[in-house]
Structure formats: structure tokens, C-alpha cells
Amino acid sequence: MRYRTRLFSLLACAAALAVFASGCDIPLGTPNERMIKSARNNYVRNMRKLLDSGIAPDITDSAGWTPLMWAAAKDNVDIIRLLVSRGAKLDARNKKGETALHIASRWSRLETVRILISAGARMEALDRLGWPPLMWAAMQGRTEVIQALAEGGANLEFKDTNGNTPLMMAANRGREETVKALLELGANQFKTNTAGQTAADIAASSGYQDLAAQLRGEQPEKPAGRRRRK
């Protein structure tokens, strides 16, 4: 038994040395698993070898995520550039209907967003909720991402099935800087959703009274100071 254990240990060491000598970053897993791990961990050399071996760049994991999606989530821009250069599908969808641009926008991966837009990713692609990347960026308060999407031609007046716009989503979460940026980019603060609410109405109903006042063009009320005793 002791001899067998030592033999297994020696074989494992030999396998590890062989992998190290070959220059691979990830010694274990199927080729598809290694693709996903390479994308997540920014193992550029390993990714290049896997692609050179003929593995398609758009393999998916159990959630439907491609290597490009994982690289977008982690902002691994070298992996993204490599995958794009090898023909990765920019608008592939995972099981939630998300594209790599949805993921990068929601998680505020600004450089990735810019690379994907430059490569031709569709900014109006809708996920299972019927939202484009801009809606997620607005709800999460990703102001710089919103500016990048707008510069790339994203529709600031997009409406979801309830008639809500990106401005309304930002107002609902009290994202003051995001609301300001959207207004400066030209978003219409007077549009209404299917319930007849404006962005100001939504901000007020969510408890953001100062933001609602700003959206209406009013000066927010200052709290009354204490009266001085005579």
C-alpha cells in the first residue's frame, strides 16, 4: 500500500512537471473548463494555446456564460481583445439573456464596455427582462458607463414594457449623479411611464424628495433651523 501511494505521488509530480514544461497556466480540467478558467483568471498565454488548438471561442459553462462574458465580468481586457480577434460572438446570450456588454455595464467595467462598443457589440440587445445594457447601468448608478454607452449611440429614451426609461430607473434608486449625467446627455425628464409617472414622480414615491424637486426644476427645501430663544 505504501509503495502504491508513493507511486501515485510520483506520477502526479511527473504530470505536474510535464504541464509546467509545456507552459500551461492551468494543469487540470477539460479544455472547455480551462477556457473558462483562463478567461476568469486572465491567463492570456493559456487562452491563446487553447484557441490555437482549435477550441471554439464561444464554448459555454452550465449557466450559458462564454469566456468573453467571464472576461467582461472580471475586466480582463487582454483576454477580451484576444477573444474578439479570434471571432468570439459579441452578442452571444447566457441563460438570463445577457450579453457581455450587459455584464460589463452592470458591473461598471468601463474599459471593457469601450472595447466591446468599438468592436461592434449591440447596445440595444435585450435580456430576459427586456432591458438593454443602458438600463442596468442607470439602475446601478454606473455614470461613466452610461456616458460611454451614450457616446456609442445608445438610446437614452428606451422604454421597457412598463414604459420606464433609464432616467426613471436612476431616479427610482436615488442615483443623483447618474440622473444629472443623463439629463446633461439629453434625457427627457418629462416623459411618463404606463402608470403616468415622470422620473420626478418615481423619485418622490421612492422617498427621494430632493431629487424629485431637482427633476421638477425646483429648489429642494432646506431643513428649518432652530429658533433662537429670546
Give per-residue pLDDT as tens, 86-143: 999 999 999 999 999 999 999 999 999 999 999 999 999 999 999 999 999 999 999 9
- Domain containing 192 equals 156-219
CA separation for the pair 166, 222 (Å, rounded): 28
Smallest Cα–Cα separation from 114: which of 149, 67, 74, 83?
Answer: 149
**pLDDT classification of 19: cutoffs 50, 70, 90:** very low
Same domain, 81 and 134: yes
Res 186: pLDDT: 97
Same domain, 72 and 127: yes
Write out the three cell numbers for 91: 452578442
Same domain, 120 and 200: no
Reduced 3-state DSSP string for the chain: CHHHHHHHHHHHHHHHHHHHHHCCCCCCCCHHHHHHHHHHHCCHHHHHHHHHCCCCCCCCCCCCCCHHHHHHHHCCHHHHHHHHHCCCCCCCCCCCCCCHHHHHHHCCCHHHHHHHHHHCCCCCCCCCCCCCHHHHHHHHCCHHHHHHHHHCCCCCCCCCCCCCCHHHHHHHCCCHHHHHHHHHHCCCCCCCCCCCCCHHHHHHHCCCHHHHHHHCCCCCCCCCCCCCCC
Asked whether residue 181 is domain-assigned, the answer is yes
Asked whether residue 22 is domain-assigned, the answer is no
Same domain, 129 and 166: no
Same domain, 160 and 131: no
Mean pLDDT value across residues 167-186: 98
Same domain, 65 and 132: yes
The predicted-structure confidence for 64-74, as pLDDT tens digits, reads as follows 999 999 999 99
The predicted-structure confidence for 129-154, as pLDDT tens digits, reads as follows 999 999 999 999 999 999 999 999 99
Residue 170 has pLDDT above 70, yes or no: yes
Question: Counting every residue, how long is the chain?
Answer: 230
Asked whether residue 224 is domain-assigned, the answer is no
Res 16: pLDDT: 42
Q: Cβ atoms within 10 A of the Cβ of 27, count?
A: 13
Instruction: Identify the CATH number of the domain in which residue 111 sits.
Output: 1.25.40.20
Q: How many domains does the chain have?
A: 2
**pLDDT classification of 1: cutoffs 50, 70, 90:** low
Residues 90 and 116: beta-carbon distance below 8 Å: yes
**pLDDT classification of 23: cutoffs 50, 70, 90:** very low
Residue 225 has pLDDT above 60, yes or no: no
Residue 12 has pLDDT above 80, yes or no: no
- Write down which residue in 114, 140, 166 finishes a domain: 140
Same domain, 80 and 135: yes
CA angle 133/86/52 to nearest 5° reads 140
CA-to-CA separations, 1 to 7, 9, 11, 13, 15, in angstroms, rounded: 10, 12, 15, 19, 21
Res 226: pLDDT: 45
Res 7: pLDDT: 47
Asked whether residue 1 is domain-assigned, the answer is no
Residue 27 has pLDDT above 50, yes or no: no
